[in-house]
Chains A and B, each alone.
Chain A
Amino acid sequence: MTHVVPARTYVLVFAALLALAIGTTEIARIDLGPFNAVVAITIAVIKALLVALFFMHLLYTRHRTKIIAAAGVVWLAILIALTLSDTLTRNWLPVPRPW
């Protein structure tokens, strides 16, 4: 299943990645409050998708490989979400601590 991607596509993806890298640095200089982190993560996710889809040929592989790759993201989301569901919700109720 050899799929040769045009060199032009790779160069365009690289240009987009570079533009996003410069963009995220410049946006970080503007004070957006809590949205600075949101914007930074969103841009990072877009860049990671570009690398995975084009450089890592995920766009051209079978669905099975795509599911495996998505599983990594899903399990990472579970890890972070369940951990934060503990640490972010402590001290919500005025329960005296025995220790």
Chain B
Amino acid sequence: MSEMQAVEAHEAVAHQFDDMEQQHDAATLGMWIFLVTEVMFFGGLFTGYTVYRSAFPAAFAAGSRLCEVLLGGTNTGVLLLSSLTMALAVRSAQLDRRKHLIFFLICTMLLGLVFLSIKGLEYFHKYEEHLIPGSRFAFAGPDARQVQLFVYFYFAMTGLHAFHMIIGVGVVLVMLLLAFQGKLTSRRYDTVEVAGLYWHFVDIIWIFLFPLLYLVDLHK
């Protein structure tokens, strides 16, 4: 190890940690504990959804038919691709490939923005068709009130998810600034690793939202 590397290694470890490995463990463990609280945060909505879907299966099927599978499916692909670029960004940081890191972070951020734009388009269609829950909600078929309940869940769950996406895009933007400053090297890539954990978690939430909201009753 050259003198330069030794100095850098010393600076990369915060003084409360013995070595890089312990610091890396603490960083990822802390993020995982936060993500577990997030599971419980979304878990309340998933539980409520399960209770009401088991109570009103026909209305939830009718509500699901209001969702645009093509847009939702496209968004699934966009988000999965963004997870790939995020994983490759972390890998680039591990290997000290700064240009690749910046490229993959930009890809991730752009894909996140594409996801949010498509989501916004879906919301706009819901608005045009009077499918926003509230006094102007209009549904012609039977069980209109129970269908409105489904749409409540649709907006609460995708809304909370979109909010997490907005935060995620902000986090990736910060990673991008750090990468430009050369602060994400193989010795201190914990920052981008932890940001990646958050990004992938938000992807996992969507993996469950897509079949629960869009694919309930595609076969009729």
Q: Mark B192-211, 1 if CB is under 8 A from A, else 0.
A: 01001100110110011011
Interface residues of A in 6-56 (CB under 8 A from B): 7, 10-11, 13-14, 17-18, 21, 24-25, 28-31, 36-37, 40-41, 43-44, 47-48, 51-52, 54-56
Stretch at the interface among B44-52, B109-117, B153-161, B173-181: B44-52
Determine if B54 and A21 form an interchain contact, defined as CB atoms under 8 angstroms apart.
no
Q: Which residues of the partner chain A approach B211 to less than 8 Å between Cβ atoms?
A: 24, 28, 40-41, 43-44
Cβ-neighbour of B54 out of A13, A44, A51, A84 (below 8 A)? A84
Q: Which residues of the partner chain A approach B215 to less than 8 Å between Cβ atoms?
A: 24-25, 28, 36, 40
Determine if B32 and A69 form an interchain contact, defined as CB atoms under 8 angstroms apart.
yes
Q: Which residues of the partner chain B approach A37 to less than 8 Å between Cβ atoms?
A: 216
Q: Mark A67-82, 1 if CB is under 8 A from B, else 0.
A: 0110111011001100
Determine if A87 and B55 form an interchain contact, defined as CB atoms under 8 angstroms apart.
yes
User: Is B69 part of the binding interface, using a Cβ–Cβ cutoff of 8 Å?
Assistant: yes
Q: Which residues of the partner chain A approach B86 to less than 8 Å between Cβ atoms?
A: 55
Determine if A51 and B203 form an interchain contact, defined as CB atoms under 8 angstroms apart.
yes
Q: Which residues of the partner chain B approach A47 to less than 8 Å between Cβ atoms?
A: 204, 207
Closest Cβ of chain B to A36, distance in Å, is: 7
What size tier do the contact residues of chain A reach? 35 or more
User: Is A88 part of the binding interface, using a Cβ–Cβ cutoff of 8 Å?
Assistant: yes
Determine if B200 and A51 form an interchain contact, defined as CB atoms under 8 angstroms apart.
yes
User: Is A97 part of the binding interface, using a Cβ–Cβ cutoff of 8 Å?
Assistant: no
Q: Contacts A40-B215, A65-B29, A84-B50 given: A10-B91 contact, CB under 8 Å?
A: yes
Stretch at the interface among B74-82, B125-133, B139-147, B163-171: B74-82
Q: Which residues of the partner chain A approach B94 to less than 8 Å between Cβ atoms?
A: 2, 4
Cβ-neighbour of A75 out of B25, B40, B204 (below 8 A)? B40
Determine if B218 and A51 form an interchain contact, defined as CB atoms under 8 angstroms apart.
no
Q: Is the interface of B mostly helix, strand, loop or mixed?
A: helix
In the assembly, what is the distance between CA of A50 and CA of B220, in Å? 31
In the assembly, what is the distance between CA of A56 and CA of B83, in Å? 10
Closest Cβ of chain B to A41, distance in Å, is: 7
User: Is B36 part of the binding interface, using a Cβ–Cβ cutoff of 8 Å?
Assistant: yes
Cβ-neighbour of B197 out of A4, A11, A25, A56 (below 8 A)? A56
Task: Other than A7-B88, A25-B215, A83-B51, give 18 A-B pairs with Cβ distance below 8 A.
Answer: A1-B24, A2-B94, A2-B186, A10-B84, A14-B84, A21-B73, A21-B77, A28-B215, A28-B218, A28-B219, A40-B212, A48-B208, A64-B29, A65-B25, A65-B28, A68-B36, A84-B50, A87-B54
Interchain residue pairs with CB less than 8 A apart (6):
A4-B91, A21-B76, A47-B207, A62-B25, A71-B36, A73-B39
4 closest A-B pairs (Cβ-Cβ)?
A72-B36, A40-B211, A28-B215, A72-B39
